[in-house]
């Protein structure tokens, strides 16, 4: 049995014994194993492996070179040859036998997909179990490879979907601290899922942390303007106004100072986004100004 761990530096275990990085036969054999592991159970053609391995510029003799790397890898894995090996030959390619290969990424995808799409009762426990498996960045040994970047982007989308749904359900159940954790992880994946940011604001506000909820909106707004050139959508703006008009958390002068700083930041954001705005008529601006006036000097 082979186990491949792709979170953090790549780790390979054969019958529960870890192989040192040098024992895989070098960088290229290790990369081939990683490429097959991210698609465990699916055949990957030699052409596709070569394009990834040499960034779409394989050498003329790439087939023979690729086959020699696979031979080295099979020998170093010490798990049999031909049909006896979990690294099997398919029509013009290779694959890892899922019955004889365990990949942490595959287990992670199963759990996080369940969190994103499965029964509500399993969403939070499956998301928790998946997150516990993220012991480092996916494919950390391949920081710049195009194919690895695509895998990380795909993983990011799945994490955002699963953790956002977990945050929604945690908020609904009153578990706001847990919702904050899930929502922060989802929001960290980018500014494309406003729902994650909304759940973060809702969880923070519900747990009495209005300044942090307002700061989350300020971060969302700044990120969307910077990366997408657009304002947050109507649902985010409505929630922001609800939080802004709601009761302060009452956590003393330190919390009040945080709120004032965040409100000033929001005021600056709005003024910078549209020169010549009328503070008295622009939605949100007049409310920010009124809230600021309510704070003691």
* Position 284 pLDDT exceeds 90: no
pLDDT of residue 91: 87
Q: Per-domain residue ranges for the chain? A: 2-99, 103-191, 208-297
pLDDT band at 96 (very low <50, low <70, confident <90, very high): very high
Distances (CA, A) of 30 to 6, 20, 27, 50, 198: 11, 11, 5, 14, 41
Residue with tokens 């704070």: 295
- Whole-model pTM: value is 0.82
CA distance 38 to 238: 41
* Secondary structure element (H or E) that encloses residue 291, with its range: helix 285-294
Tens-digit pLDDT profile for residues 224-240: 988 888 989 999 999 99
Tens-digit pLDDT profile for residues 193-220: 899 999 999 999 999 898 899 889 989 9
The beta strands (E) that lie in 104-245 are given as none
Say if residue 183 is exposed, middle or buried (CB neighbours under 10 Å; 0-12, 13-18, 19+): buried
* Position 115 pLDDT exceeds 80: yes
**Mean pLDDT, residues 143-155:** 96
Average pLDDT, the chain: 87
Pick the CATH number of 2-99 from 3.40.50.620, 1.10.10.10, 3.30.200.20, 1.10.490.10: 1.10.10.10
Tens-digit pLDDT profile for residues 66-87: 999 999 999 988 755 556 789 9
pLDDT of residue 216: 94
Distances (CA, A) of 140 to 8, 21, 33, 48: 5, 13, 14, 21
What's CA 49's distance to the chain center, in Å?
Answer: 25
pLDDT of residue 288: 55
pLDDT band at 245 (very low <50, low <70, confident <90, very high): confident
């Amino acid at each position: 049995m082979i186990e491949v761990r792709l979170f953090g530096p790549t780790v390979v275990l054969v019958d529960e014994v870890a192989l040192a990085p040098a024992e895989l036969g070098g960088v290229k054999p290790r990369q081939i194993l990683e490429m097959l592991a991210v698609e465990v159970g699916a055949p990957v053609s030699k052409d596709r492996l070569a394009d990834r391995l040499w960034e779409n510029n394989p050498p003329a003799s790439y087939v023979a070179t690729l086959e020699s790397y696979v031979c080295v890898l099979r020998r170093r894995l010490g798990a049999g040859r031909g049909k006896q090996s979990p690294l099997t030959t398919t029509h013009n390619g290779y694959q890892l036998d899922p019955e004889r290969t365990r990949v942490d990424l595959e287990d992670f995808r199963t759990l996080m997909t369940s969190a994103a799409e499965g029964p509500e009762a399993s969403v939070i426990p499956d998301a928790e179990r998946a997150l516990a498996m993220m012991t480092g960045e996916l494919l950390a040994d391949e920081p710049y490879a195009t194919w690895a970047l695509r895998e990380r982007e795909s993983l990011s989308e799945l994490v955002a979907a699963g953790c956002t749904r977990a945050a929604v359900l945690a908020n609904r159940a009153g578990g706001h601290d847990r919702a904050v954790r899930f929502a922060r992880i989802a929001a960290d994946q980018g500014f494309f899922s406003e729902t994650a940011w909304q759940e973060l604001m809702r969880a923070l506000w519900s747990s009495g942390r209005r300044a942090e909820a307002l700061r989350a909106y300020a971060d969302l707004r700044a990120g969307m303007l910077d990366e997408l050139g657009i304002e947050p959508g109507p649902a985010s703006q409505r929630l922001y106004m609800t939080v802004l008009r709601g009761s302060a958390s009452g956590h003393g002068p330190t919390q009040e100072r945080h709120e004032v700083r965040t409100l000033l930041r929001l005021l600056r954001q709005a003024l910078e986004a549209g020169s010549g705005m009328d503070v008295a008529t622009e939605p949100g601006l007049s409310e920010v100004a009124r809230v600021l006036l309510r704070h003691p000097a």
